[in-house]
């Protein structure tokens, strides 16, 4: 097998793999105003070359929020035998977004909760990076911000799903 050359995509559309992470805490989710698109979005960004998606989700969230997070979900199978493949977390979803003409993001969607050891903001929520405009929003807060229906649906699913998964965790 030869080396794959960086060449023009056959369909003329450049595709980048990205992650989006809906961080949930006590009925709230973290969103911020995206500086380029003017909409409120979860933390996320590009998966770097040679980076695993799980690692990208944690890194992007930490860079944008200042929080270390625990990804909530499950691998395809539980397998820890010596020498077996490392199981990554299954994303909650995978979607293709048209960014500009000829450019798409293949976005892996994850759910997460703050890892232990965070400091509190005045409202008792995990303190986040104010420079990025990150805000904890409950459902009413999400409804009061410019959020697409797609993001609203992901927020709703995250707020319904994450508490159940945490209760069911061993």
Domains of the chain (ranges, CATH numbers): 26-75+87-168 (3.90.79.10)
Rounded to whole angstroms, what are the CA distances from 108 to 22, 92, 96, 98, 117?
Answer: 11, 8, 9, 14, 27
pLDDT tens-digit readout, 81-118: 787 888 899 999 999 998 888 899 999 999 999 998 88
Instruction: State the pLDDT at residue 132.
Output: 79
Bridging pattern class, strands 14-25 and 103-114: parallel
Q: What is the C-alpha to C-alpha distance for residues 94 and 92, in angstroms, rounded to an integer?
A: 7
Burial of residue 64, with CB atoms counted within 10 A of its CB: 0-12 exposed, 13-18 middle, 19 or more buried: buried
pTM strictly above 0.75? yes
Q: How many helices (H) and strands (E) does the chain have?
A: 3, 8
- The DSSP secondary structure of 153-170, one letter per residue, reads HHHHHHHHHHHHHHHH--
* Mean pLDDT of all residues belonging to the chain: 89
């Amino acid at each position: 097998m030869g080396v794959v050359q960086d060449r023009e995509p056959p369909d003329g559309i450049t595709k980048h793999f990205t992650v989006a992470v809906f961080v949930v805490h006590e009925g709230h989710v973290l969103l911020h105003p995206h500086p380029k698109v003017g909409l409120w979005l979860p933390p996320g960004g590009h998966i770097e070359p040679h980076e695993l998606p799980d690692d990208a989700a944690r890194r992007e969230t930490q860079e944008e929020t200042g929080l270390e997070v625990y990804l909530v979900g499950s691998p395809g199978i539980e397998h820890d035998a010596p020498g077996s493949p490392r199981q990554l977390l299954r994303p909650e979803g995978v979607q293709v977004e048209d960014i500009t003409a000829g450019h798409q993001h293949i976005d892996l969607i994850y759910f997460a909760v703050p890892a232990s050891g965070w400091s509190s903001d005045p409202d008792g929520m995990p303190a986040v990076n104010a420079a990025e405009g990150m805000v904890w929003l409950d459902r009413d807060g999400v409804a009061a911000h410019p959020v697409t229906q797609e993001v609203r649906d992901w927020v709703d699913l995250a707020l319904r799903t994450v508490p159940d998964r945490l209760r069911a965790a061993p």
